[in-house]
């Protein structure tokens, strides 16, 4: 990744999936810029950015075009081009990440879609202007987009739309050499995940039922993020790449292989 420059959006702390990807890319020589959402998170993100030699650390709230424009304008002042963007951003009212999907409110449906789905398209609109030689855009999703998971509710609907937008963006931007992919990560204990009802139970279930019989780490996802950001994945676009210990392939475990 030496000589490549990219933007990492969605680090909240050192448990963030975005941080796992940032570490993996930095270890291979990639140069990074970071965004943070609000002053409280800035205090956490700056020291992490310092530790990987990043001096472009910018505020960005993806709910406004002005904020996203300001972020890309600030990057454009320092860098003439971008090679990759990692979008690891999602939000929903935690009151609606428990109970049933059928009770979702109109306001939270719209907000969840805006932050967790549309923001990736909004970022792609700005990033493409900075990728004259092509590039790689990636976002993070979860199996709750494909199958019903307890409490994932409206976030599952937003992730399904996000995965679909990955395909449309890949088709739109392919002729510019810009690849667009999603990583579907298994459950990981992060700040965002702590808002999901009974998350510990989901972690335990995944660990017991995934072929690798363990949960994934941010380093596992980091490896996949590095691959998607790099030339190693140059022929890959519009792809949904699962990094979930194989949980997504399981219909039912053989009784003899199921844990006691």
| 91 binding ligand NAD? (CB under 6 A) | yes
- Comparing CA positions, the residue from 8, 138, 126, 9 lying closest to residue 69 is 126
User: Residues 226, 28: contact at Cβ < 8 Å?
Assistant: yes
Q: Can you tell me the distance from the alpha carbon of 245 to that of 260, in angstroms, rounded to the nearest whole number? A: 19
Which stretch, 23-31, 50-58, 78-86, 89-97, contacts ligand NAD (CB under 6 A)? Answer: 89-97
| 17 close to 185: Cβ distance less than 8 angstroms | yes
The rounded distance, in Å, linking the Cα atoms of 69 and 127 is 10
Please state the φ and ψ torsions of residue 83, each to the nearest 5 degrees: -105, -30
By the 8 A CB rule, do 155 and 163 touch? no
Task: Give whole-number Cα distances, 7 to 232, 245, 253, in Å.
Answer: 19, 27, 40
Q: Which of 1, 7, 8, 11 binds ligand NAD (CB under 6 A)?
A: 11
Our finding on whether 30 is near ligand NAD (CB under 6 A) is: no
**Residues 6 or more apart from 52 whose CB is under 8 A from it?**
22, 23, 26, 32
- In sequence order, the β-bridge partners of residue 242 are 184
Among 75, 88, 130, 224, the residue binding ligand NAD under the rule CB under 6 A is: 88
203, burial (CB in 10 Å: exposed 0-12, middle 13-18, buried 19+):
middle
The verdict on whether residue 191 carries a ligand-binding annotation is yes
* Single residue of 8, 17, 24, 54 touching ligand NAD by CB under 6 A: 17
Smaller CB distance to ligand NAD: residue 133 or 220? 220
Shortest Å distance, C-beta 191 to ligand NAD: 3
| Among residues 44, 46, 63, 93, the one that binds ligand NAD under rule CB under 6 A | 63
Q: Which parts of 41-60 interact with ligand NAD (CB under 6 A)?
A: 41, 60
In three-state secondary structure terms, 141 is strand
36: nearest Cα among 14, 60, 66, 15: 60
Q: Does residue 152 have an active-site annotation?
A: yes
**94 annotated as belonging to a binding site for a ligand:** no
For residue 224, give Cα distances in angstroms to 21, 24, 144, 260: 8, 9, 20, 31
Binding-site string for ligand NAD from residue 94 to residue 133, where x marks contact by CB under 6 A and - marks none: ---------------------x------------------
Q: Which is nearer to ligand NAD, 15 or 177 (CB)?
A: 15
Residue 10 annotated as lining a ligand binding site: yes
Which listed range, 46-54, 72-80, 182-190, 231-239, lies at the site for ligand NAD (CB under 6 A)? 182-190
Is 142 a residue of the active site?
yes
Applying CB under 6 A, among 89, 130, 170, 178 the residue interacting with ligand NAD is: 89
90 binds ligand NAD (CB under 6 A): yes
List active site positions.
142, 152
Binding site residues for NAD(+), as ranges? 10, 16-17, 37, 61-62, 89, 159, 188-192
Catalog residues that contact ligand NAD under the rule CB under 6 A: 10-12, 16-18, 37, 41, 60-63, 88-91, 115, 140-142, 185, 187-188, 190-193
């Amino acid at each position: 990744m030496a000589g490549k420059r990219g933007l990492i959006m969605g680090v909240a702390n050192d448990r963030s999936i975005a941080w796992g990807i940032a570490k993996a890319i930095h270890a291979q020589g990639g140069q990074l810029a970071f965004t943070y959402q609000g002053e409280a998170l800035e205090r956490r993100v700056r020291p992490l950015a310092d530790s990987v030699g990043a001096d472009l650390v910018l505020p960005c709230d993806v709910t406004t075009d002005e904020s996203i424009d300001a972020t890309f304008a600030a990057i454009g002042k320092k860098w003439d081009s971008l090679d990759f963007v990692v979008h690891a951003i999602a939000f929903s009212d935690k009151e609606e990440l428990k109970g049933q999907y059928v009770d979702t409110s109109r306001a939270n449906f719209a907000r969840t879609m805006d932050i967790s789905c549309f923001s990736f398209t909004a970022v792609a609109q700005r990033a493409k202007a900075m990728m004259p030689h092509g590039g790689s855009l990636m976002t993070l999703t979860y199996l709750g987009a494909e199958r019903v998971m307890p409490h994932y509710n409206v976030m599952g609907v937003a992730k399904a739309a996000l995965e679909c937008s990955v395909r449309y963006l890949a088709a739109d931007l392919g002729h510019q050499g810009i690849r667009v992919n999603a990583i579907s990560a298994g459950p990981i204990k992060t700040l965002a995940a702590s808002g999901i009802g009974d998350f510990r139970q989901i972690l335990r279930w995944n660990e017991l039922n995934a072929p690798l019989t363990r949960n994934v780490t941010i380093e596992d996802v980091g490896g996949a993020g590095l691959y998607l950001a790099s030339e190693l994945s140059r022929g890959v676009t519009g792809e949904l790449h699962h990094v979930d210990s194989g949980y997504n392939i399981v219909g039912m475990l053989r009784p003899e292989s199921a844990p006691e």
